[in-house]
DNA sequence: CGTGCGATTGAACTATATCAAATTCGGTGG
DNA sequence: CCACCGAATTTGATATAGTTCAATCGCACG
């Protein structure tokens, strides 16, 4: 079924696919794989001949400095293509690793290049996907550069919730599955685990959200968004997403 | 003359342009403009119909939070196209402003789309340029998220020097023109002006560089790069650039 | 039942921010 | 050439957000 195609929903959100494009998408050769938690899928310096699309689980793009400390620059949810940049860059400049057990599909660069040649609209949609990713990186620079601990955390949660909703991965009650340890949240926000812990307590105490390491529920979207100085425009979601409050 | 074309050198670095491509490039309608320092060229929320290419001066991509504090996410040097992302995104999500008096050229999106249709290789090269930008944003997340004051500063200087060299904008003696105040360096690194000042003193005292707000000279590249934990791979320069030491 | 990872707490420490003042410096007009 | 101006840099002193180290606690899982 087409709706179940790993790339369909995100592409179709960017442009309504016509018959030929759907055809071409279905013909794309995919290789599925399951990867257990805490494994590198691609590593900095790799020269890869294929891209991956996430279908289940949670991935993170990160770098590890010589000190050994890791910085997570992005989280990836099902539907995302975290190393699409490899299509035009010689080497990958970051690691991509699983945060939970993941299901992915691999697609050969050659096949994608063919797809792009056949359909300039799909090429444009893929390009646009990488541009949205870049926009998110920009916002993360702001996040780690400007905000306090609680505010950084709040921002990450706002972003993830909105992306989950857009990808139809959130529940009716406005909660979503999000498997993250406090230490990983620290790696994403540039804060120590201890400080993450105390910042989490702030968010909880203020009644903004509940988070148990597996499941995120936002109780007060407006309050959380205000604390985070969150404006959703950088996600380029197009149509407005309405949140249960 | 073609070599003087604002887009030529960066494109030609990405792929050797053939005759037709050079033709198409020359036919591209450009509109030149001079903009004085500290002016917004594009503003967050804009819905623009054209891109700009910088030919002279220094630009910065930034966002201003509700608090009024500004975060710079990228510096742009001649040859860069700072809002190429507007080609596929409805709205711009950041400001782009001049840090010094700048000369720019504007190019209509429609003209670029036509160029991309005619030459898939140029389309790929432009796409790649946005991917390199994204890679730089990722590194900046690491910079503000992980490094100490002096280290962040050192990293910015390493990056700018290498990009200047690549764009043939540095002098023989290994120095380059870089018009930045300490306050702007603070906005780029997420640090206060006072702390920037003291971090600058550290770099100077250790004999790593001289910087007077207009001109940067690196005296000890290896030392600076080590302090910065700088690895150039994220710039995707392809061929290695050799630095005077 | 232990074992181990993740969350939590406490206390001491430090990088960096903030506030406020003084100084340098590149112009610019007299 | 001098006096002056505003902007940028520099310095000092104090405050604080966040780190580090070191335990302890809770709990899922073999």
Residue B229 has pLDDT above 90, yes or no: yes
Rg over CA atoms, chain A: 18
Residue A241 has pLDDT above 50, yes or no: no
Would you say A57 and A111 are in contact if contact means Cβ atoms under 8 Å apart? no
Both tokens assigned to A226: 């205000």
Residue B233 has pLDDT above 90, yes or no: yes
- CB–CB contact A137 B132 (8 Å): no
Residue B215 has pLDDT above 50, yes or no: yes
Candidates B66, B93, B135; nearest CB to A233: B93
Average pLDDT for A137-162? 98
- CB–CB contact A131 B85 (8 Å): yes
Residue B112 has pLDDT above 90, yes or no: yes
pTM flag (> 0.75) = yes
Candidates A65, A137, A234; nearest CB to B141: A137
Residues across chain A: 245
- DSSP H stretches of helix in chain A: 8-14, 19-27, 109-118, 120-146, 149-166, 182-189, 193-205, 221-228
Q: Which of residues 171-190 of B touch strand C (CB under 7 A)?
A: 190
User: Which residues make Cβ contacts (< 8 Å) with residue B122, sequence separation at least 6?
Assistant: B11, B15, B17, B21, B24, B25, B115, B116
B134 interaction partners in chain A (CB closer than 8 Å): 85, 130, 133-134, 137
Considering only residues 11 to 40 of chain A, which have any Cβ-Cβ distance to chain B shorter than 8 Å? none
Residue B243 has pLDDT above 50, yes or no: no
Please report, rounded to whole angstroms, the spatial distance between the CA atom of protein residue B22 and the C1' atom of nucleotide D15. 60
- CB–CB contact A137 B134 (8 Å): yes
Average pLDDT for A81-104? 96
């Amino acid at each position: 079924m087409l709706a179940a195609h790993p790339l369909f929903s995100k592409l179709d959100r960017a442009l309504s696919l016509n018959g030929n494009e759907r055809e071409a998408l279905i013909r794309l050769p995919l290789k599925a794989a399951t990867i257990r938690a805490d494994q590198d899928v691609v590593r900095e310096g790799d020269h890869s001949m294929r891209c991956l699309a996430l279908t289940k689980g949670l991935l993170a793009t990160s770098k590890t400095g010589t000190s050994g400390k890791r910085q997570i620059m992005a989280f990836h949810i099902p539907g995302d293509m975290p190393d699409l940049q490899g299509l035009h860059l010689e080497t990958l400049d970051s690691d991509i690793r699983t945060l939970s057990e993941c299901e992915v599909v691999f697609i050969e660069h050659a096949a994608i290049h063919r797809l792009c040649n056949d359909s300039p609209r799909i090429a444009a949609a893929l390009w646009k996907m990488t541009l949205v990713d870049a926009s998110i990186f920009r916002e993360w620079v702001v996040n780690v550069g400007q905000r306090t601990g609680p505010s950084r955390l709040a921002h990450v949660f706002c972003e993830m919730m909105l992306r989950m909703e857009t990808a139809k991965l959130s529940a009716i009650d406005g909660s979503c599955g999000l498997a993250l340890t406090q230490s990983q949240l620290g790696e994403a926000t540039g804060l120590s685990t201890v400080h993450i812990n105390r910042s989490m307590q702030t968010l909880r105490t203020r009644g903004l959200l509940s988070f148990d390491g597996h499941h995120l529920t936002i109780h007060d979207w407006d309050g959380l968004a205000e604390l985070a100085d969150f404006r959703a425009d950088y996600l380029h979601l197009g149509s407005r997403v309405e949140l249960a409050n």
